[in-house]
Amino acid sequence: MNRTTLRALLISLTLILAASAAQRDAHASALSCETIPTFMNRYLSQHIHYQQLTPELRTRTIEVFLRSFDPSQSVMLESEIEAMKAQLLAAFDEIEKGNCSAISTVHQKFTQRQKEIETFVKDFVGADDYAIDMDVEIIIDAKKRGYPKTVAERDQLTRKLIHFQMSNYISDVTPLAEAKELLEHRYELRTKRIAELDSVDLYSNFLDAFATSLDPHSNYFSAEMYEDFRISMSLSLIGIGVALSERDGFAVVERIIPGGAADALDVLKQNDKIIEVAQGDEQPVNIIDMPLRDSVSLIRGKKGTTVRLTILRQEESTERFTVAIVREEISLEGQAAALRFEEREVDGHTLKLAILELPSFYGDSDPSKRQCTDDVADLLRQVSEAKADGLVLDLSRNGGGLLNHAVTVSGFFLRKGEIVKVQDVRGQEEVLSDSDESILYAGPLVVHTSRVSASAAEILAGALKDYKRAVIAGDDHTFGKGTVQTVQSLPPGLGALKITTAMFYRPGGKSTQHDGVEADVIIPSTLSGDDFGEKHQPFSIEGNSIDAFRSSYAIANPRTNSWTVVNKEMVEKLASESKRRIEASAEFAEVYEKLAEYRENAGVIRPADLVERREEEREKSNDSQSTSSDGDLNGDAGTPDQEAVDQALEKDEEEISPQLAEATNVLVDLIAFNSSSQSTAKNREMRTR
């Protein structure tokens, strides 16, 4: 593999191998119905799993396409959706021949029905006796709710959604009359957005639906979306520093980018839903059911300006709050590897423990500029100079980064050996290895992971696990993304294709897809729910295994006085001790309680809960303003000043999560186990002399 390929970027949850694929018609200016079959065949010729158009793919494509008109599944009846599915399935062959009249017919039906919904909403809230029903319950997960079966069910669902939306407005102290106007205007805009979709928009949506039906990471980018995608890949992006996805009509926080403005405030969490966006002190815009790219455009803005986000969070209870965030450049300093030391008294001995956090595998395209490999190497030298007794490598916030950097960092802990294999649909393989025999750290090592740890982070954790070099401690498994995406630029005006073209394999032969890297010692967190991870993504590809390709342990891991090969006995003992501590911990009891309550209440909200929560927050905000001048990070208005941001960062540094604290406890146990093993081995050696 050449150096250019090794520099391929893996940002957040995707590995991007830049490529170019020019079409013969280089003068094409927009996607047409006639070009859809060509691009569908391009996907199938290169996709890692699907090489032909199957009945399953046809059905998936149509389902995703229909959902693009109505993410909340509240416009059409189930019978109408089934009829449109049958119509599009029957017309699929015609679409492959360049006849898209069926797509236009479906668009017209949705436009007409959306106009009817708009009229229904206006009549309902326009009634003189209209009042918000605070006790109505809504299942906001459209997939769990399904399409309404009857007109009466649809009308009832629409009323519930209206009550929920109106409660959003009045909880911001908006008068009822004004809230009605805002809601009516929102439905007018929704109707307008659907009605104004032109043929290029429809064909783009259909082609993207086909790509998405292959797997969660394949997409078609229109010209505008491709430009947004390229901006999102830039580390100099001006924004709030979050990765978003669209689920059931909501813009959902997938990841907090280390070094970004949201990371500094430490307010947002994975799975938070953004339901409104406001610029500074302006009136908020409701973004439920808004296309994700439009929502992202509202959230982005000029450096130094403020955006206010209204957040819906569902954990042990339903919360609704507003956070003001100042748009800033994502700081590489905030993403940088960091080292700290901690001392523990154990059996009369003082242990010096090193904790190295690596939030991402960052690096500039210019090799002379800052790279995480250089930073980690320097920090590991400090660990050795300090004569630390053990090291926790914290990857719990690491969502990926540069693939070649993950390989290099893996080599800092191994003598040499194969780290990862990339295999495409044709069986072509490339193995990335550590060939540098030097080891920067050879002592006891615990790798702390979570469900957030993804892609390149899984490659490092998987290699160290397969070579029995480290104990993995954290959530039951990492995120589980083991696929590679290639982005192929199309001629001007046509955008780009993003295709899943290959899979990663650990040295032991297992793919990281779906299962990720399993923890040796499970440390539960609130991310351990059933719905977070690659295998819970729609149409996610199953993982598989190949023959192991790792070097022998003797070559990869030379025995030293400070390190012993991780074995079954060791893991069982460490897991047992950790489980005992966790079961006795009040902090982890709270984690289990939150998980149980989340599973019980997931997806159900009541307007009364949101309004009551908002009132509580408003009271807290008023109390805070009357007693403190530090600023309110969760308040409705104003921009958090630099002092407040600094305090948030300082608090984050001082407060260690219970998961990281327990991973450090596991390290202490590992050091003790190593000492006992070495003492036993030394005594055995003396007896044999």
In a domain, 235, yes or no: no
Which domain CATH number covers 436?
Answer: 3.90.226.10
Model confidence at 413: pLDDT above 80? yes
What is the distance between the alpha carbons of residues 644 and 122, in angstroms, rounded to a whole number?
43
Q: Please give the mean pLDDT across all residues of the chain.
A: 82
Model confidence at 307: pLDDT above 80? yes
Residues 353 and 207 in one domain: no
pLDDT of residue 614: 56
Most confident of 290-294, 336-340, 469-473: 469-473
Query: Domain end: 195, 214, 233, which one?
Result: 214
Determine contact, residues 77/151, Cβ cutoff 8 Å: yes
pLDDT of residue 8: 37
Residues 433-445: tens digit of each pLDDT: 998 888 999 999 9
In a domain, 558, yes or no: yes
pLDDT of residue 643: 39
What are the backbone angles phi and psi of residue 558, rounded to the nearest 5°? -65, 135
Token pair recorded at residue 218: 């394949």
pLDDT of residue 594: 80
152 — pLDDT class (breaks 50, 70, 90): very high
Determine contact, residues 277/271, Cβ cutoff 8 Å: no
601 — pLDDT class (breaks 50, 70, 90): low
In a domain, 77, yes or no: yes
Query: Domain end: 164, 181, 214, which one?
Result: 214
Model confidence at 503: pLDDT above 50? yes
Q: Which of 88-102, 240-254, 454-468 has the lowest mean pLDDT?
A: 240-254
For the residues of 98-126, what is the DSSP string, one character each? T--HHHHHHHHHHHHHHHHHHHHHHHHHH
Residues 54-71: tens digit of each pLDDT: 999 999 999 999 999 998
SS (H, E, C) 297-351: HHHCCCCCCEEEEEEEEECCCEEEEEEEEECEECCHHHHCCEEEEEEEEECCEEE
In a domain, 122, yes or no: yes
Domain that holds residue 497: 337-587
Residues 416 and 552 in one domain: yes
In a domain, 388, yes or no: yes
To the nearest whole percent, how much of the chain has pLDDT over 70? 81
Taking residues 84-108, what's their average pLDDT? Answer: 92
Q: Which residue has the tokens 């078609």?
A: 220
Model confidence at 260: pLDDT above 90? no
pLDDT of residue 1: 42
Q: Are strands 471-474 and 445-449 parallel, antiparallel or unpaired?
A: parallel
Residues 190-227: tens digit of each pLDDT: 999 999 999 999 999 999 999 999 999 999 998 888 87
In a domain, 570, yes or no: yes
Number of domains composing the chain: 2
Residues 413 and 561 in one domain: yes
Residues 423 and 560 in one domain: yes
Model confidence at 452: pLDDT above 70? yes
Token pair recorded at residue 591: 């984690």
In a domain, 118, yes or no: yes
In a domain, 249, yes or no: no
Mention every residue, 6+ apart, whose C-beta is less than 8 A from residue 406.
Answer: 361, 419, 420, 456, 457, 459, 460
Model confidence at 293: pLDDT above 80? no
CA triple 234-235-237, angle to 5 deg:
70
Determine contact, residues 147/206, Cβ cutoff 8 Å: no
For the residues of 156-217, what is the DSSP string, one character each? HHHHHHHHHHHHHHHTTT--HHHHHHHHHHHHHHHHHHHHT--HHHHHHHHHHHHHHHH-TT
81: helix, strand or coil: helix
Residues 25-34: tens digit of each pLDDT: 433 468 999 9
Query: Domain end: 179, 214, 249, which one?
Result: 214
602 — pLDDT class (breaks 50, 70, 90): low
Q: Are strands 242-247 and 338-346 parallel, antiparallel or unpaired?
A: unpaired
To the nearest whole percent, how much of the chain has pLDDT over 90? 50
pLDDT of residue 271: 81
Determine contact, residues 635/621, Cβ cutoff 8 Å: yes
Determine contact, residues 637/425, Cβ cutoff 8 Å: no
Most confident of 41-45, 97-101, 370-374: 41-45
Model confidence at 10: pLDDT above 60? no
